[in-house]
Amino acid sequence: MNEIINPEEWVFNNNGKSPAYFSLKSHASVSREMIDYIKKLSESKGRINMRFCLNSSPDEELQDMIILEYKDKKCRIPHKHLDGNEAIHLIEGKLLALILDDDGKLLDKRILSEDGEFAYRNAQNRQHLYFPLTDHIIFREIRGGKFERKNLVSPNWNFLEVFKEYLNPNELGCYNSECKSICNLFNHS
């Protein structure tokens, strides 16, 4: 362990959608130094997405995470949460937030940046997607409810067609460990 991440306060977990440090204490804080550390660690491991979870487990009623996400390291599929509202606070970078109804109609489109609008709240049961517009973003995501995959629902409409209406193809980068390749969503047949 290093001197920046205190092993009495944080435990490393590599079992989730991205490697994460979970808080071992009921009172937790994240410093700029800690964020800089996971950026360096991420770079050394091939620019992987990483997180600090201020909650101690996915079973807590409040999910509170600081997330480092690269533009080209996540599959961009809209989803909604059946069990809680979500709020994000952009710490570093720039992102595009899209909020859609269950039919794919755009309800809100907004750009968040660290020096402009930086906080956003999304209602429960709204399809949403956050696109990094910079090489990487660091944001805080706070969501009510335990994490259960069954409460994370993707749309049943063709979101690729919907994206064509609202997004520039240059805004899309997709990577998923399941497909193991970078793809351009607009070139799918």
d(CA 153, CA 167): 22
What six digits make up the tokens of 99?
A: 């909020």
Structural domains of the chain in order of their starting residue, each with its CATH number: 10-187 (2.60.120.10)
CA-based nearest residue to 186, from 57, 15, 172: 172
In this prediction, residue 16 has a pLDDT band, given cuts at 50, 70 and 90, of confident
In tens, the pLDDT along 84-128 reads: 788 999 999 999 888 988 888 889 999 999 999 999 998 878 888
Give residue 35's pLDDT.
96
What six digits make up the tokens of 34?
A: 């800690």
Phi-psi region of 93 (alpha: psi -120 to 50; beta: other; left: phi over 0): left
Give residue 74's pLDDT.
66
Query: What phi and psi values does residue 37 have, to the nearest 5 degrees?
Result: -65, -50
Rounding to the nearest 10 degrees, give the CA dihedral for residues 24, 62, 142, 28: -20
Contact at 8 Å (CB) between 37 and 5?
Answer: yes
Strands 152-153 and 119-122: unpaired
In tens, the pLDDT along 133-172 reads: 899 999 999 987 766 666 667 788 777 777 777 666 555 5
Query: What phi and psi values does residue 151 have, to the nearest 5 degrees?
Result: -90, 5
What six digits make up the tokens of 95?
A: 């992102």
